[in-house]
Amino acid sequence: MKLTSILISLAAVCVAACSGSGPGSAIFRANTPHEQYERSLKTAQLDQTALGIDWTTVAQRALRDSLKITVPYRESGYFSATKPIAVGYRISGSRGDKLTIRVDVQGRQAGRVFIDVFALDGASTTLVAFAKANADSNATAELVWEPRRTQLHLIRIQPELLRSGRYTITVTRDPVLSFPVKGRTSRQISSHFGVPRDGGRRRHEGIDIFAPKGTPALAAANGIISRVGVNELGGNVVFLTDADRQQRLYYAHLDRFNVTDGQRVSIGDTVGFVGNTGNARTTGPHLHFGIYSFDEGAVDPLPYVRLGPGQARQEFPSTSLLGDSVRVLTTKGFLRLAPNSDSPILTELSREQFVTIQGGTAKWLRVALPNGLAGYLAQGSYEPISKAIRHEALNVPTPLLDEAHPQAAVITTLNAGTTIRVLARLPNFLLVRGENGQTGWLIRSSGKAQ
């Protein structure tokens, strides 16, 4: 089947699957656009083709062999139409974070990009969030997601088949809630969750935000005022029910109220005014702000309101590198789990070793070995393969292979006496260019000059 015909067939099936309408739409009842697309491959009879099998295989591999990043983060990369790819990024997601994951693709024919997020628990993965499908094949995919638990998570990014282009992924973090005191930020928090109180008989179940008396205390979320009243410790208090997150927000030591029971409020509305009522009579005016989860009780409010770290600032690598290959320049190169020099080493790379660039930043390239192992390689530890390492003359006729595998297809057979330019190497193969400019792989024991 011609490439154009495959694209038309696949696109028609996937639009029906992802939109939930059209002939046969009842068949596609998967929970995510990624699953819907995978089922559409079966309908288009592509699931048992080499390309379809590779697409599914790399999707599963991304869940096992993911790399680790620290938010905020951004990098660029390249998707090839001829070689399916999926990338997994591990991040530490905290309850109280709002994470924005955005993927932009630039190419002649923009295609769908699937974003799925999984919670990691040992070797198991549980889907927790995904970006909605764009039926119009928009080149931008975005997911705004709030972790419900503090744990390690995995972000999987995968494009649809038969599309190529440069992409950028950006992951940023902001607090879930708006700050509850007007004109203040998390820098003004002076007492934190869990600090002992009353000689250790109880703990502080919130944070204290000092501000002048009468400063507006603001609704940090949309919700319903579930209680306005007075108690011994908190003095004048307000409870705001945040049903979306199954929790109540607690405002204490208020000088006076500005809401009533059952009132609906929006983010930024004034619920009361900062004071020092209750057991804060001997301290300066401040708001005691607490969060009580419906299922866990008191939780630390700091992650919910702390300042975000800002925008991702990593510089991108040269666009000419994306999708290209390089060789290791240093005596030892280290393939690392994360883009920093303190990250665990996945494997050591020898000088002149061949790697393919999938993406990364200006300081850390994300590269892959022919066996599929991917990781980050530091700037300065690689060089282009355009210039030959050395020249050799072949002693015997030698097959030039299209990949570094003993059963790979033969491009041509190089005659004895042919001078080859060695560009890079792998443990059992040499990447070479022949006299006529053809590039391919030689088995190192075959025809090597003595």
What is the band of 20 on the pLDDT scale with cuts at 50, 70, 90? very low
What is the pLDDT at residue 25? 32
CATH (residue range 3-175): 2.60.120.380
pLDDT-derived band at 123 (thresholds 50, 70, 90) equals: confident
DSSP H/E element including 355: strand 354-360
Average of per-residue pLDDT across 211-233: 97
The reported pLDDT for the residue numbered 447 is: 46
Mean pLDDT of 406-429: 94
| Residue 185 CB contacts under 8 Å (≥ 6 apart), including other chains | 179, 307
| Architecture of the domain whose range is 390-443 | Roll (2.30)
User: Could you give the 3-state DSSP secondary structure of residue 193?
Assistant: coil
Of residues 22 and 259, more confidently modeled: 259
User: Could you tell me the pLDDT band of residue 198, with boundaries at 50, 70 and 90?
Assistant: low
Model pLDDT for residues 299-310, shown as the tens digit of each residue: 999 999 998 889
- Write down the pLDDT at residue 133: 67
Q: Which residues pair with 340 in a beta bridge?
A: none
Q: Using CB atoms within 10 A of its CB, is residue 196 exposed (0-12), middle (13-18) or buried (19+)?
A: exposed
Q: Name the burial class of residue 81, with classes exposed (0-12), middle (13-18) and buried (19+) by CB atoms within 10 angstroms of its CB.
A: middle
Buried b (16+ CB within 10 A) or exposed e, 136-167: ebebebbbebbbeeeeebbbbbbbbbbbbbbb
User: What is the spatial distance between Cα 335 and Cα 374, in angstroms, rounded to a whole number?
Assistant: 8
For 295: left if phi > 0, alpha if psi spans -120 to 50, otherwise beta; the answer is alpha
Contacts of 411 (CB under 8 A, 6+ apart): 400, 401, 402, 438, 440
Encode pLDDT of 148-196 as tens digits. 999 999 999 999 998 888 999 999 999 999 999 999 999 889 888 877 7
The token pair at 110 is 């923009």
Dist. CA 321–CA 200, nearest whole Å: 59
Residues 186-194+202-303, CATH architecture = Distorted Sandwich (2.70)
Per-residue pLDDT band for 421 (boundaries 50, 70, 90) equals very high
The closest alpha carbon to 207, from 242, 252, 176, belongs to 252
Fold of 325-381: SH3 type barrels. (2.30.30)
Q: Which residues contact 332 (CB under 8 A, 6 or more apart)?
A: 348, 349, 350, 351
- The pTM of the full predicted model, rounded to 2 decimals, is 0.85
Tokens describing residue 332: 């030892």
Note the pLDDT of residue 158.
95
pLDDT at 383 over 50: yes
Please give the span between the terminal C-alpha atoms of the chain, in angstroms, as a whole number: 47
What DSSP designation does 351 have? T
Task: Give the integer Cα–Cα distance in Å for 157 and 131.
Answer: 10
Res. 392 pLDDT band, cuts 50 70 90: very high
Of the candidates 173, 146, 247, the one whose C-alpha atom is nearest the C-alpha of residue 205 is 247
- How far is C-alpha 76 from the chain's CA centre? 12
How far is the C-alpha of 339 from the C-alpha of 346, rounded, in Å?
12
Q: What is the mean pLDDT of the chain?
A: 88
Closest to 223 in 3D by CA, of 267, 271, 164: 267
- Percent share of the chain, pLDDT over 90: 75
CA dihedral of 352, 355, 356, 359, whole degrees rounded to 10: -110
| Res 9: pLDDT | 43
Mark 339-377 as b/e (b = at least 16 C-beta within 10 Å): beeebeebeebeebbbbbbbbbbeebbbbbbeeeebbbb
Cβ atoms of 159 and 114 closer than 8 Å: yes
Q: Which residues of 411-421 are buried (b: 16+ CB within 10 A; e: fewer)?
A: beebeeebebb
pLDDT above 60 for 21: no
pLDDT > 80? residue 315: yes
Domains of the chain, by residue range, sit at 3-175, 186-194+202-303, 325-381, 390-443
| Distance between CA atoms of residues 189 and 83, nearest Å | 51
- In this predicted structure, the answer to whether residue 360 has a pLDDT above a threshold of 90 is yes
Domains 3-175 and 186-194+202-303 alike in fold: no
Q: Which of 77, 123, 61 has the alpha carbon at shortest distance from 371?
A: 61
Tokens of 273: 């005014």
Per-residue confidence at 82, pLDDT binned at 50, 70, 90?
confident
In this prediction, residue 81 carries a pLDDT of 87
